[in-house]
Structure 1
C-alpha cells in the first residue's frame, strides 16, 4: 500500500474517489523563534531540521507530509531592515535568485523529499507576504501592533512591499516545485486581526499579493493548498478565500466552527484537509486510542470520504506523541 500513497495523495487533491483515506500531522522542530527566522544562516541548524524531519518519516511513515519551513520563516529583506515609518518599507527589495535563503531552502527540502523515495506526497509550508511582515514585528520586535500602525498611515506602502515579497516567493516556490520534489506549496494566510483594516481594504491592499503568488504557482504545478490559519483562536472570514486559485483548502474547523463538509460546499467542492483540533484540549493530543479512532470514524461518516485529507487545524504541540497518527490511518481504512 505504501507504494500507492503518493498517487492516492494526488488523486485526493484532484477530488477523485480513492480506496484509502490519508492522514498527516505536523509540528515545528525548532522551539526558538529566533532560530525559526535566522536558522538558515547556520548550517548546523539547517542540518538539524533536515535530520529531524527525515527521522520523523523513518519512525512513523506518515501517509503524506506538510514540511515545515523552520529556519526559513522570513525573507532576508524583511529580517535585515528596520521599519519605523511606511517609507521604510521601500527597504524591502528583491533578492538574487541564488541568495542563500533560496538555495539553502531548496537544498534542505530536496534532502527531506528525497528521503521519502517517492512513496508519499508532500506540501511545503511558507508564509504569505502579510504573514511574513507581521511575524517580523511579532518575533523580532515583540510589537504585534506595528503592522497595523504602518498600514493605517500608508496602506499603499504596505501593498507595494507585499508585491515585492510575492515576486520572490514565486521564484522560491517555482524552484522548490521543480528542483526539490515537493508536490506543491502550502501557503499560510491569515486575515488582519484588527478592525483598523476593513474587509474592503484587505481586498484592495493585501489580497492581490496572495492571489498573484498562488496564480503563478498554479501555473507551475497545480497541487497547491492554502492554510487559512486559526492558530491560537484567530478568526477569518473563510468565504473571502473561496475564489483563490488553489487545488485545496485547509482551515481551523474548531476555531471557525466550519466542518469539512461545509467547507467543501463553500469552496466549490474542491479538496479539503483537517478535522482534528490541534490544541492540548483536543482528542488527538489527549484522547485514548479508542477516542481517537472513534473520532476518526465520526469525521468520515459526517463529512464523506472523497477529496478529504485528515489532519489537525494547525501545528500540533511539540510534545505530541506522533505515533497517534497511525491510529487515525488504521481507523480510516479498516
Structure 2
C-alpha cells in the first residue's frame, strides 16, 4: 500500500498493511511562512517519513487595531474579512508544499477553529493580551453583546469555509484538520458552547465535507467536557484526535464517544518518551499503544503538536514501528 492508501483504508474501516502515522510541530518563527516554511515542511516530512503530510497554518487573522467592546470587535473583524490575504498566503504556501512533497502521502491542510481564530486578532493587540486574557475577553464579550459577537463570528466562519474548500479543490489536499476549542469547562457552560461555538464548528466541518475532503476533528486543551462533541460532530468527522492526557479520555473511551470513527493519537506530545526516552523506548510505547487500542481504526500520533525542538529521530522510530505492526 502507498501511504495514502494506508490512511484511507484506516479511515474507511478496512484492513491496512500497517498502522499509519501523523505527527506535526510548529516550526520556528523564521520558518513559519513563505519559502522557509516550505523547506521546513519538506525537511520534516523527509526526516520523519509520516504517512500524513500535515501543513501547518501560521497565516492567522491579523490584528486591525485595539478592541475594547463587542462593537469594536465586529468593526475590526469586518475589516479583516474583507481582505482575505491571509487565506491566499496560506493556500499559496500549501500548494508549493503539496507540489513538492511525497506523492504517495496523504495530505492535510490545517484550520484553526472558530474559537481560536476569533482570539487571534486579540492576541496581537499588544503586551498584556495573553492567551488566558483573550479567551476570557472572548467569553465576556459574548455575554455582553451576543448579537454583535455572533455576527462577527459568522464573518470569520465564512472565511474559514472558503479556506476549507480551497484546500481541497485548489491545493489538492485529501483532508482538513479542524482544531476546535471551546469545550473546556473553564470558559463556557455547556449551553453557551452549544449556542455560541457548536453551530460554527459544524458549519466549517460541513464545508470540508462538501468540498470532498476527509475531516479530522481535533479537540484541544485541558479540562474538556468531551460530551459536548456529540453525534452532530461525529456525523461530520472522519477522524478524531484529542488530548488523551489533557482531557483526560483514553483512546479506548473515544471509541464509545465516536463509534465507527478512526482515532488519531496515543503519544503524549510534550512529555513522556518523546521527551525523555530513546528510540527503543519510543518503539515499545508505539507497540503498547497499538496493542491496547487494536489495529483497526488507529492512526498513530500525539495529543497535539510536538515541541519545536523535538528530536525527529524519535518520531521516525514511532512511524517505522507502527508501519511494521
Q: TM exceeds 0.5?
A: yes
| 1:42-121 equivalences in 2 (<5 Å) | 45-70=33-58, 72-74=59-61, 76=62, 79-91=63-75, 92-93=77-78, 95=81, 99-121=84-106
Give the Cα–Cα distance (whole angstroms) in 2 for the partners of residues 16 and 305 of structure 1: 10
Q: How does 1:108-257 map to 2 (within 5 A)?
A: 108-141=93-126, 142=129, 143-144=133-134, 145-191=136-182, 193=184, 195=186, 197-230=188-221, 234-243=222-231, 244=233, 245-257=236-248
| Structure 2 match to 1:320 | 310
Query: Aligned partners of 1:31 and 1:47: how far apart in 2?
Result: 13
The whole-number CA distance in structure 2 between the counterparts of 1:266 and 1:193 is 17
CA distance in 1, matches of 2:142, 2:26: 30
**Separation (CA, whole Å) in 2 of partners of 1:158 and 1:134:** 12
The aligned counterpart of 1:261 is 252
Counterparts in 2 of 1:176 and 1:330: CA distance versus 1, 3 Å? closer
The alpha-carbon distance between structure 1 residues 192 and 257, as it changes in their structure 2 partners (threshold 3 A), is closer
**Against the structure 1 CA distance between its residues 254 and 168, is the aligned structure 2 distance closer, same or farther, given a 3 Å change threshold?**
same
Cα shift at 1:83:
2.0
Q: CA deviation at 1:288?
A: 1.7
Structure 1 match to 2:297: 307
Q: Specify the alignment match of 2:26 in structure 1.
A: 28
Unaligned residue ranges in structure 2 (runs of 5+)? none
Residue of structure 1 in register with 2:272 after alignment: 282
Length-normalised TM-score, structure 2: 0.89
1:139 positional shift: 4.5
Q: 1:261: Cα distance to partner? A: 1.9
Structure 1 Cα separation of the partners of residues 215 and 18 of structure 2: 21
Deviation, 1:117, is 4.1
Distance 1:15 1:271 in 2: 7
Q: Tell me what 1:18 maps to.
A: 16
Secondary structure of 1:89's aligned partner:
helix
Does the residue aligned with 1:131 lie in a helix, a strand or coil? helix
Q: CA deviation at 1:177?
A: 0.7
Shift of 1:194: 6.3
1:329 deviation in Å? 2.7
User: Are residues 300 and 18 of structure 1, via their aligned partners in 2, closer, same or farther at CA, if it must alter by over 3 Å?
Assistant: same
RMSD: 2.1
- Cα gap change, 1:21/1:235 in structure 2, threshold over 3 Å: closer, same or farther? same
Tell me how far apart the structure 2 counterparts of residues 50 and 171 of structure 1 sit (CA, whole Å): 22
Is the alpha carbon distance of 1:139 and 1:193 closer, same or farther for their aligned partners in structure 2, counting shifts above 3 Å? farther
Using the TM superposition, give the Cα deviation of residue 285 of structure 1 relative to its aligned residue in structure 2, in angstroms.
2.2
Mean Cα displacement is larger for which, 86-95 or 182-191? 86-95
2:282 to 285, 288, 292: 292
Partner SS for 1:323: helix
Alpha-carbon shift at residue 180 of structure 1 (Å): 0.9
The DSSP-based 3-state class of the residue aligned with 2:179 is: strand
Deviation at 1:136, TM superposition (A): 3.0
Structure 1 residues 108-117 or 132-141, which shifts more?
A: 132-141
TM-score norm. by structure 1 comes to: 0.87
